[in-house]
């Protein structure tokens, strides 16, 4: 069965199709690829597993070319973007062509950015194959690459024409990647849906064990929350920033540890814990709720601590590059309670410092 969630953005509106086994079903893709030249971007792992089925589902297109990047965060660079753009030009993809991103968030972000910039913008379709990409990165039109000094510092808003989520692809995903995606699922409960957070507390094991119903519920509920945030604030002028709960801390951990060592979702889990502790220190979040968040990440076997190489000073330095900062002031997402978050520039800087000092004192290197 296929469920469709609509993202209403005027002429940039698009459907998110969610179903088991829909990757090989041409019906979701046909309206976007029929009679058009298609260029698939994927990574080595995903291409081995799913490129063949996808090519069969693209049967109505005018022709299919593909470009395969190395797997992982280290590919999300300007250099890799250049090679993708050169490949698009070498295939003579025209402005009426369509780019298809088949893979996780790395593929989706870089392929989307290539589609945003090639010939000043061509259509693209997202086919996310990690939990993280299915619940977050494939929806909403944020595309881009990293610079050595910071995550996602170069990019563009470019909405896909369609998102096709085949939850069956999660069967081949490494457990560590499932856990990392889980951190972004928890985020939706924390920022906007306390009942969903309670559901996750009760269903974390089923979800990580790939129970079909649990996965379908988590993916659909997350996409609905993401859709709401994107429709309300496509370009992140205001409330969309709530989706970045824990990300300022998390991006600093990813950059500080060296891209690719920590998975994005793992860094976000520690980032959410630090945001929760700061929220508690600032008098927003109840101590008991802060513990519940930590307990849920612990149950999911996610890292809970800062790594030992990141001092409070280094964290602050890395966090000062965040895109949410305005007029030299850091803006963070804080929790008022489970299910309600705010964008704040008013927190006491000494609370942030104390939170980081305490976290650094308890630092522990993860065993991955
Ligand atoms: P990823 O794309 O690196 O994929 C993780 C790993 O899983 C890779 O090795 C990949 O080859 C492999 N893989 C993917 N699908 C598979 C499958 N079905 N079976 C087996 N292996 C599979 O990482 P990710 O966690 O999907 O995405 C992380 C990226 O997403 C980060 O760069 C992050 O910044 C970005 N992101 C973007 C947004 C956004 O709004 N654009 C939101 C959140 C995260
Ligand atoms: N992942 C954050 C956003 O899409 O805004």
Domain boundary among 172, 205, 236: 172
Given a cut of 80, is residue 327 above it in pLDDT? no
162 and 199 assigned to the same domain:
no
47 and 87 assigned to the same domain:
yes
Asked if the structure places residue 256 within a domain, the reply is: yes
Given a cut of 80, is residue 64 above it in pLDDT? yes
Q: How many residues belong to the chain?
A: 368
Q: What is the CATH number of the domain that holds 61?
A: 3.40.50.1970
Domain that holds residue 82: 2-172
Distance CA 88, CA 216 (A): 35
Give the model's confidence band at 150: pLDDT under 50 very low, under 70 low, under 90 confident, else very high.
Answer: confident
| CA nearest to 291, candidates 239, 255, 335, 254 | 335
Given a cut of 90, is residue 1 above it in pLDDT? no
Q: What is the pLDDT of residues 183-211, one digit of tens each?
A: 999 999 999 999 999 999 999 999 999 99
Q: What is the pLDDT of residues 100-139, one digit of tens each?
A: 999 999 999 999 999 999 999 999 999 999 999 999 999 9
276 and 316 assigned to the same domain:
yes
Q: What DSSP line would sit under 27-91, residue for residue?
A: HHHHHHHTTSEEEEEEEHHHIIIIIHHHHHHTTTSSEEEEEEEPSSGGG-SHHHHHHHHHHHHHT
Residue 323 is predicted with a pLDDT of 76
161 and 43 assigned to the same domain:
yes
Provide the H-helix boundaries in 95-211: 105-117, 131-132, 175-192, 194-208
Asked if the structure places residue 305 within a domain, the reply is: yes
Asked if the structure places residue 36 within a domain, the reply is: yes
Q: What is the pLDDT of residues 27-55, one digit of tens each?
A: 999 999 999 999 999 999 999 999 999 99
3-state SS assignment for residue 299: helix
212 and 311 assigned to the same domain:
yes
163 and 255 assigned to the same domain:
no
As for ligand 1, residues whose beta carbon falls within 6 Å of it are 43, 45-46, 49, 71-73, 76, 103-107, 109, 129-130, 132-133, 136-137, 140, 142, 151-152, 169, 172-173, 177, 180, 263-265
Distance CA 190, CA 196 (A): 8
Asked if the structure places residue 368 within a domain, the reply is: no
27 and 165 assigned to the same domain:
yes
Asked if residue 128 lies in contact with residue 138, where contact means CB atoms within 8 angstroms, the answer is yes
114 and 82 assigned to the same domain:
yes
Residue 76 is predicted with a pLDDT of 95
Given a cut of 80, is residue 291 above it in pLDDT? yes
Whether the CB of 136 sits within 6 Å of ligand 2: yes
Domain boundary among 172, 199, 222: 172
160 and 11 assigned to the same domain:
yes
122 and 197 assigned to the same domain:
no
Number of domains in the chain: 2
Q: What is the CATH number of the domain that holds 254?
A: 1.20.1090.10
Question: Residue with the nearest Cα to atom 43 of ligand 1?
Answer: 137
The answer to whether residue 179 is catalytic is: no
Asked if residue 144 lies in contact with residue 109, where contact means CB atoms within 8 angstroms, the answer is yes
Domain boundary among 125, 157, 172: 172
Asked if the structure places residue 338 within a domain, the reply is: yes
Mutate to test the pocket of ligand 1, among 21, 47, 109, 176 (most ligand atoms within 8 A of CB): 109
52 and 146 assigned to the same domain:
yes
């Amino acid at each position: 069965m296929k469920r469709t969630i609509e993202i209403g953005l005027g002429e940039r509106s698009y459907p998110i199709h969610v179903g088991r086994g829909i990757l090989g079903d041409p019906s979701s893709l046909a309206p976007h690829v029929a009679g058009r030249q298609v260029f698939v971007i994927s990574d080595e792992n995903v291409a081995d597993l799913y490129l063949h089925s996808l090519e069969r589902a693209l049967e109505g297109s005018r022709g299919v070319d593909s470009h395969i990047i190395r797997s992982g965060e280290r590919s999300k660079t300007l250099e890799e973007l250049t090679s993708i753009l050169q490949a698009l030009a070498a295939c003579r993809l025209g402005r009426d062509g369509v780019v298809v991103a088949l893979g996780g968030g790395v593929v989706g972000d870089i392929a989307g950015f290539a589609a945003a910039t090639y010939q000043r913008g061509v259509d693209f379709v997202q086919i996310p194959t990690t939990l993280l990409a299915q619940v977050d990165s494939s929806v909403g039109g944020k595309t881009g690459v990293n610079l050595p000094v910071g995550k996602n510092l170069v990019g563009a808003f470019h909405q896909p024409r369609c998102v096709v989520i085949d939850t069956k692809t999660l069967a081949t995903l490494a457990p560590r990647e499932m856990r990392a995606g889980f951190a972004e699922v928890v985020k939706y409960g924390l920022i906007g849906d306390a009942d969903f957070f309670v559901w996750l507390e009760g269903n974390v094991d089923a979800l990580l064990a790939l129970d079909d119903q649990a996965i379908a519920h988590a993916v659909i509920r997350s996409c609905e929350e993401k859709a709401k945030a994107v429709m309300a604030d496509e370009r992140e002028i205001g409330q969309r920033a709530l989706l970045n709960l824990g990300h300022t801390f998390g991006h600093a951990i990813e950059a500080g540890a060296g891209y690719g060592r920590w998975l994005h979702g793992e860094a976000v889990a520690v980032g959410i814990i630090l945001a929760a502790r700061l929220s508690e220190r600032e008098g927003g979040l109840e101590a008991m709720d802060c513990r519940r968040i930590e307990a849920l990440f612990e149950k999911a076997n996610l890292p809970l601590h800062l790594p030992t190489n990141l001092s409070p000073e280094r964290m602050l330095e890395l966090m000062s590059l965040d895109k949410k900062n305005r007029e030299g002031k850091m803006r963070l997402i804080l929790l008022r309670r489970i299910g309600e978050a705010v964008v704040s520039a008013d927190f006491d800087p000494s609370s942030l410092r104390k939170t980081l000092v305490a976290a650094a004192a308890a630092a522990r290197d993860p065993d991955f």
